Structure 1
Amino acid sequence: MNQWKAYYKFIKPYRKWILLTLIIGMIKFTIPLTLPMIMKYVVDDLLTSSTLSVQEQMSQLVLILGGTLILFIIVRGPVEYFRQYFAQLITSRILFDLRNKLYAHLQKLSLRYYQNTKVGEAISRFINDVEQTKNIVEVGMMNIWLDMFTLLIVLGVMIYLNPMLALVSIAILPLYAIAVKILYKRLKQLSKDRSQALAGIQSYLHERIQGISVIRSFTLEKYDQQQFEGINGNFLNKAMAQTRWNAMTFAVINTLTDIAPILVIGYGGYRVIQGDLTLGTFVAFFGYLDRLYAPLRRLINSSTTLTQASASLDRVMELMNESYDIVDSPNAKTLEGPAKHIRFDHVYFKYNDQEDWILNDINLEIMAGETVAFVGMSGGGKSSLISLIPRFYDIQEGSLQVNGFDVRDLTQDSLRRSIGMVLQDNFLFSGSVQDNILLGNPHADNKEVIAAAIAANAHEFIMNLPNGYDTEIGERGVKLSGGQKQRLAIARVFLKNPDILILDEATSALDLESEHLIQQSLQDLSSNRTTLIVAHRLSTITHADVIVVLENGSITESGNHQHLIELGGSYARLYNVQNLDT
């Protein structure tokens, strides 16, 4: 029930439009209901009349046909157009609002959620399941009410024409109710299973396309095809289970529906033969019978559609209700002034409660304008430590402060605006070179973009691209080399011009020549701002004011390069292993 309340929030702004659409729909559905009564009049009062002359019969028939054509062409046409238009407008607007809200929600979910969730699964809920929920409005809040309105009108007219024959017509309705109760009990779960299986295909496809180069380099095409056939086969099984149930449902419902006309023909024909019922009334009644069971069939189909939509709504709301790991506190402050001073005070951190500590009792003070480098073996906690500063994760114990404020007491927006990061895995978006650099500052002008590219030693290679800064780089920057992508990522940070600079293997994708070109740029960028560097290539951090050695989540050494070399500990061993000792 909670998911329905949550969904109603998206429907509420359009209640008046829904009501208007229902009124238009009532007019549209009422117009065809006049046909059987017209037929009754034509049969009883014209065709079988003994008091009217042929000329009078023809003139009245032409008059009736003219009025009917006006009703069905001039009136019904525009009414049908506006009913369809408003129905689609409302559902499209609701889906627009829902997707906007869902996307904003996805933006706020922590990195932990994305580490534990397949991208294709989230995309499937965002695209397929959201699209299915439109039937809750279109079918559940419009079509069902219009069909029920039609049923009531038809039943009223049928009772007016002949109460006993009307009772015969609806004699099978209890069987309908029993069939719906039995057959639709499993349909929601079958629909949910099908959606889950479809999400599995999308997740697998998304991941494999991203890693197609790995598949080809290991000649895994045949093996991967077999794996996909298994996942695709699972979807086929789920889809066929739902199809079989649907087919059985429609078979039962349609069989029950076909019984009613037979009963009416038998009983109505008997009454006409006995002279208790006029031929025109019998013809009109049979016409209304179709208009009784057509909306009834639609109501049964609507049950199927709504069951499937309800299953999709469950999946959408499961995503919508995913809690945020990182939230601003009620009294969160905006970080004012340049963010420069960072302090780790007895910080403990782990990604979840089942794991051991990733960081143990970290005590570190980084002064304004200092360059601090973090080194150590892989898995020592370097990347985890720097990801705490922009509050991608929250620590479990201790305090992490920026400018004297605990980061948990600052708004995420103001904190992250003051931090620029070049991560180990540089992600570029599809679009042009300029589009990607502008991510550093979407409001920058062309001159600022070019200046940032020049500072990152990227301008020269950009100008050699087919369309310069307007060159499309493909998904994830696939058309660029690793070094080119890295320099664009650095140019973004130049454009952002942050107070705190974090470089996580910022030159890892560069060859020695490119690295040499960019080191000076990074040093220029680091000047007059607090800089944190994670590096495996120790030659890139010998200039740092402080070098911190992390081993197994703990700080084992710290000092400048010369001090650590003289100390002869872990740093000195790493340095000598890389043959950097001159």
Structure 2
Amino acid sequence: MRFPIKKFLSYYKPYKGQFMSVLACALLVSAITLIFPLLVRYITKQVLEGDLSAALGKVYWVGGLMLVLAALQNLGSYFVDYKGHEVGARMESDLRSELFAHMQKLSFDFYDKEKTGRLMSRITNDLLLLSELYHHGPEDYVRSLSRFFGALAILFFIHPPLTIAVLCFFPVLVFFALYFNKMLNKALMKNKERISDVNAQVEDSLSGIRVVQSFTGERMEIEKFERENARFLGSRKGTYKAEAIFYNSFEMLLQLITITVVILGSAHIVRHTLDLSDLITFLLYIGYMIEPIQRMTHMSTQLQEGVTGFQRFMEIINLKPSIASKPDAAPLASVEGEIEFRQVSFHYEGHTQRVLKHLSLRIHPGEYVALVGPSGAGKTTFCSLIPRFYDVTEGEVRVDGIDVRDLDLESLRKNVGVVQQDVYLFAGTVMDNIRYGNPEAADEDVVAAAVKANAHGFIMGLPHGYHSEIGQRGVKLSGGQKQRLSIARVFLKNPPIVIMDEATSALDNESESVVKQSLESLAQGRTTIVIAHRLSTIREAQRIVVLTEDGIAEQGTHDELMSFDGMYAKLYAKQF
């Protein structure tokens, strides 16, 4: 994948002023660092070899200058470390916010394929490494390159032939850097994939910890985790091997440079073309040249980790939602609630087998329709096409005579309420979870919605009433209580179209009775579609549609379908 350098640099824009001041300070710190050996050279070559009677005053003067420069250097380093890290943290926050906001827009088909743990790894680990590159990368390169070229210029000034001998090593250094950087990039990309797999395994196991412990599956989960952990360790070992070869090859070459300078410099002293003070200064500046090179070789890992992190970030950012509003999409206003399926066919991405085949059905405004049929007949898929959780493969789904693909997606979904079998409640209070249906609602409206959903009584029995914490996914509540909160959420949303997806199938008889009353209250005056396995809950439906893998087998009221003695009558007979 080609690295998008323009996009990468764009994240500096909001902090341009602060970032440039950090780089300016980094440059100042490097410049001050380069002055110290020159001051030492001045003392050893000029002051101590001249008139010693005046030497002490000059030494004190140079010492005072060194103290001032040291104070400036430390103040500059403090600013670079503090403000530089702050810029990096702010950019990381911006990147994380952008990535999370983009993930909220991606369609169901994306989440059908991706594991939550892998996505969490991209939001956390990858962006943390990327922020380190954003902060340390430019700052360290400015420091290192300025010190390197500054030292190189001074070395040429002190002794050009010796400097040229040192430069002969640099083509080899460049070759090593390019070769091993490519190897490290591949290794680090594999590391990120492996740690994502570890995160996915952890998320999967911990989310299902109640199932794990009830089936005594701890050993199995540990084995699965150990397998992913071992794969990650294997990828890290490969990276460490490449890093070890890379760094030690560099260290060997850098040591050869120092040895070369000592030998050739000593030879020049013997030939009287170089004096001892200049050789000492030369060796000091060689250290100043070698230290940036060492730093940059160690920075190569940081660079590669940041680059691969940004590439993985862009992989998600570049994904377009498969379902989005058209530029000229019309808002859904004054909803009557008519729903029509016209020759609708559908199959999931990656599957050739159709779930729905040329299905046509019209649901009138305010009608209460029940969908029944065997598992796998496409009942949930049928309902998912109305709010455009998925788009039809063929045909049209219309709401009030308008193709849902021509409607503004947000306005369409605001007018459709869904009560699911698998209720999802967020960590927080009862009030927070009901208000999710309408974030602008007043407390009184939340309470009114709970009353309509037959939830007010049990809520007031909780330790802190509506302000009681319910735990992640509502673990502190029973199935019936969670279901009533989800119904209250839809009451507060107050949509003209309501879809109930087997909302009572997992409940006991007592809870089912209470929830059934809540659902019937919710259905009043709205177009309602109910998916039901328990046929006793939909006897009063205005129309019952029997859906099979081949399409609609029959439809009518309960009494009409019983008189037909067809599929519905057989399903009913099995249950009763």
Corresponding residue for residue 379 of structure 1:
376
Corresponding residue for residue 110 of structure 1:
107
Corresponding residue for residue 37 of structure 2:
36
1:455 matches 2:452? yes
In the TM superposition, residue 276 of structure 1 has moved relative to its aligned partner by 2.9
Corresponding residue for residue 347 of structure 1:
344
Corresponding residue for residue 326 of structure 2:
329
Measure the CA separation in 1 of the matches of 2:502 and 2:86. 50
In the TM superposition, residue 302 of structure 1 has moved relative to its aligned partner by 2.3
| 1:69-99 superposed Cα distances (whole Å, 9 cap, x missing partner) | 12211x2233222222332232222222221
One of 484, 487, 491 as aligned partner of 2:484: 487
Normalised to the residue count of structure 2, the TM-score between the two structures is 0.96
In the TM superposition, residue 330 of structure 1 has moved relative to its aligned partner by 2.1
Unmatched tracts of structure 2, length 5 or more: none
One of 378, 396, 399 as aligned partner of 2:393: 396
One of 59, 63, 66 as aligned partner of 1:61: 59
Structure 1 SS opposite 2:374: coil
One of 138, 143, 154 as aligned partner of 1:141: 138
Structure 1 SS opposite 2:4: helix
Corresponding residue for residue 407 of structure 2:
410
In the TM superposition, residue 5 of structure 1 has moved relative to its aligned partner by 3.7
State the one-letter code of the partner of 1:466. P
Measure the CA separation in 2 of the matches of 1:553 and 1:461. 44
In the TM superposition, residue 135 of structure 1 has moved relative to its aligned partner by 4.1
Matches within 5 A, 1:214-233: 214-233=211-230
Corresponding residue for residue 199 of structure 2:
202
| 1:495-531 superposed Cα distances (whole Å, 9 cap, x missing partner) | 1111111111122233222222232222222111111
State the one-letter code of the partner of 2:27. M
Measure the CA separation in 2 of the matches of 1:252 and 1:159. 26
Measure the CA separation in 1 of the matches of 2:117 and 2:528. 36
State the one-letter code of the partner of 1:23. A
Q: Is the 8 A contact 1:423 1:503 kept in 2?
A: yes
Q: Is the 8 A contact 2:546 2:568 kept in 1?
A: yes
Q: Is the 8 A contact 1:36 1:283 kept in 2?
A: no
State the one-letter code of the partner of 2:61. L
In the TM superposition, residue 131 of structure 1 has moved relative to its aligned partner by 1.9
Measure the CA separation in 2 of the matches of 1:217 and 1:3. 49
Corresponding residue for residue 526 of structure 1:
523
One of 432, 435, 439 as aligned partner of 1:438: 435
Matches within 5 A, 1:561-576: 561-576=558-573
State the one-letter code of the partner of 1:72. A
| 1:370-398 superposed Cα distances (whole Å, 9 cap, x missing partner) | 11111111111111100101000000111
Q: Is the 8 A contact 1:486 1:510 kept in 2?
A: no
Aligned residues: 575
Measure the CA separation in 2 of the matches of 1:357 and 1:31. 72
Structure 1 SS opposite 2:436: helix
| 1:285-320 superposed Cα distances (whole Å, 9 cap, x missing partner) | 221111111111122222232122222222222222
State the one-letter code of the partner of 2:34. L
Corresponding residue for residue 300 of structure 1:
297
| 1:464-511 superposed Cα distances (whole Å, 9 cap, x missing partner) | 222222222222112222111111111111111111111111222332
Q: Which moved more, 1:217-226 or 1:445-454?
A: 217-226
Measure the CA separation in 2 of the matches of 1:190 and 1:257. 25
Corresponding residue for residue 539 of structure 1:
536
Distance 1:514 1:240, change over 3 A: same
Measure the CA separation in 1 of the matches of 2:64 and 2:455. 77
Measure the CA separation in 2 of the matches of 1:550 and 1:509. 21
Q: Is the 8 A contact 1:429 1:436 kept in 2?
A: yes
Q: Which moved more, 1:33-42 or 1:563-572?
A: 563-572
Q: Where has structure 1 moved over 6 Å in runs of 4 or more?
A: none
Q: Which moved more, 1:481-490 or 1:414-423?
A: 481-490
Measure the CA separation in 2 of the matches of 1:421 and 1:8. 43
Structure 1 SS opposite 2:389: coil
State the one-letter code of the partner of 2:468. T
Structure 2 SS opposite 1:364: strand
Q: Is the 8 A contact 1:358 1:553 kept in 2?
A: no
Measure the CA separation in 1 of the matches of 2:408 and 2:520. 29
One of 282, 290, 302 as aligned partner of 1:285: 282
Normalised to the residue count of structure 1, the TM-score between the two structures is 0.95
Corresponding residue for residue 550 of structure 1:
547
| 1:311-356 superposed Cα distances (whole Å, 9 cap, x missing partner) | 2222222222223211212211111112511111111111136321
Structure 1 SS opposite 2:545: strand
Corresponding residue for residue 264 of structure 2:
267
Percent of paired sites with the same residue: 37
In the TM superposition, residue 400 of structure 1 has moved relative to its aligned partner by 0.7
Q: Is the 8 A contact 1:376 1:550 kept in 2?
A: yes
One of 510, 515, 529 as aligned partner of 2:512: 515
Structure 2 SS opposite 1:185: helix
CA RMSD of aligned residues (A): 1.8
Q: Is the 8 A contact 1:26 1:146 kept in 2?
A: yes
State the one-letter code of the partner of 1:481. S
Structure 1 SS opposite 2:463: coil
Q: Is the 8 A contact 1:433 1:470 kept in 2?
A: yes
Measure the CA separation in 2 of the matches of 1:177 and 1:578. 77
| 1:270-289 superposed Cα distances (whole Å, 9 cap, x missing partner) | 33344332333222222111
Q: Which moved more, 1:118-127 or 1:405-414?
A: 118-127
One of 460, 469, 473 as aligned partner of 2:470: 473
Matches within 5 A, 1:115-264: 115-264=112-261
Measure the CA separation in 2 of the matches of 1:464 and 1:562. 41
Corresponding residue for residue 88 of structure 2:
91
Measure the CA separation in 2 of the matches of 1:475 and 1:139. 38
Structure 2 SS opposite 1:330: coil
Structure 1 SS opposite 2:182: coil
Q: Is the 8 A contact 1:44 1:278 kept in 2?
A: no
Q: Is the 8 A contact 2:3 2:311 kept in 1?
A: no
Q: Is the 8 A contact 2:498 2:529 kept in 1?
A: yes
Q: Is the 8 A contact 2:151 2:289 kept in 1?
A: yes
In the TM superposition, residue 2 of structure 1 has moved relative to its aligned partner by 5.0
State the one-letter code of the partner of 1:18. F
1:70 matches 2:68? yes
In the TM superposition, residue 408 of structure 1 has moved relative to its aligned partner by 0.1
In the TM superposition, residue 401 of structure 1 has moved relative to its aligned partner by 0.6
| 1:220-273 superposed Cα distances (whole Å, 9 cap, x missing partner) | 222322222111111111001101111111111111111222222222233334
State the one-letter code of the partner of 1:8. L
Unmatched tracts of structure 1, length 5 or more: none
Distance 1:158 1:315, change over 3 A: same
Distance 1:393 1:339, change over 3 A: farther
Q: Is the 8 A contact 1:154 1:291 kept in 2?
A: yes
Measure the CA separation in 1 of the matches of 2:321 and 2:525. 35
In the TM superposition, residue 410 of structure 1 has moved relative to its aligned partner by 0.5
Corresponding residue for residue 419 of structure 2:
422
Corresponding residue for residue 316 of structure 1:
313
| 1:526-560 superposed Cα distances (whole Å, 9 cap, x missing partner) | 11111111111111111111111101151111111
State the one-letter code of the partner of 2:163. A
Q: Is the 8 A contact 1:41 1:280 kept in 2?
A: no
Measure the CA separation in 2 of the matches of 1:109 and 1:166. 58
Q: Which moved more, 1:561-570 or 1:213-222?
A: 213-222
Q: Which moved more, 1:304-313 or 1:26-35?
A: 304-313
